[in-house]
A and B are shown apart, each in its own frame.
Chain A
Amino acid sequence: MVTPHVHVPVGAHYGWRDWLVQRITAIIMALYTGLLFVVALWNGGFDYATWKTIFASNAFRIATFLFMASLLWHAWVGVRNILMDYVKPAGVRLTLQCIVIGVLVGYLGWTIAILWGGA
């Protein structure tokens, strides 16, 4: 008997894409982690002045933005996997997924405000 395809509205619709996204974002974050280490070693640690100078560089801001965007997308895939494993009622799962999306998008806005908001 052929197993019928069951459509789950709150499932992962694009498993292959998410698999790839999880890996690409992971590599970007690993590279940024290495970059941060090199910058820290180069400056012999951080104080306020060097910290401020580093974040004044547009290249570093863009790298940081890329890291945060990767982190938030990576977090979405991971948290959604956890919700799919442990939260079975569709309504509760959908609610939690919406909250997580809202929080993550909010974090992205916060990141932009920090990087380019003149904070």
Chain B
Amino acid sequence: MPNFPASVEMPAVERPVAKTKRPVYLNLLAIRQPLPAIVSFLHRVSGTLLFLVGIPLVLCGVQASLVSAESYAAWKSALATPWAKLVLLALAWSYAHHLLAGIRHLVLDAHIGLDLPVARQSSAVVLVVAVLVTAAVAFKLW
């Protein structure tokens, strides 16, 4: 039987386990997300829009536009209505944001711009350029 001297004590180990029940604060309207989180969230939102609306609309459009000159013209005038323009604008933003955020993702994969200040800056660039592209599309539509 090992006999340890009474003066030697095992050091107390700090365990990262919450002993008390901490409050969970998830008021989505009050949480201020960091810029990269907003870009990430919008990447998901834009991807969902492109999947649900973008792909079927593009397929319908390309098909109709290739059938005949009449159907091409009909599709073109259908897209010229105000509601259709709003949908196109939403899709233009979705495509621009998704593409730019995706390029940012690829750059981060290459371990470029991983420091927080740079990551914040690139997030801001993605947000702003996507809005600028959308504004350019809006200018062309109206």
Contacts and interface: CB of A to CB of B under 8 A. Distances in A.
Main secondary structure of the interface of A (DSSP, over half): helix
Given A75-B55, A82-B48, A119 B99 contact: no
B66 interface: yes
A119 B65 CA distance: 10
Contact of A119 (B55, B56, B67, B103): B67
Nearest to B73: A48
Given A30-B102, A51-B65, A75 B51 contact: yes
Contacts of B51: 75, 78-79
Interface residues of A, number: 22
Contacts of B36: none
Given A26-B106, A30-B103, A79-B51, A48 B72 contact: yes
A119 B63 contact: yes
B59 interface: yes
Nearest to A47: B72
Interface string A85-119: 00000000000000000000001001101100001
A27 B106 CA distance: 9
Contacts of A33: 99
Given A48-B69, A51-B66, 8 more contacts: A75-B51, A79-B47, A82-B48, A107-B59, A110-B59, A113-B63, A119-B63, A119-B66
Interface of A: 23, 26-27, 29-30, 33, 48, 51-52, 55, 71-72, 75, 78-79, 82, 107, 110-111, 113-114, 119
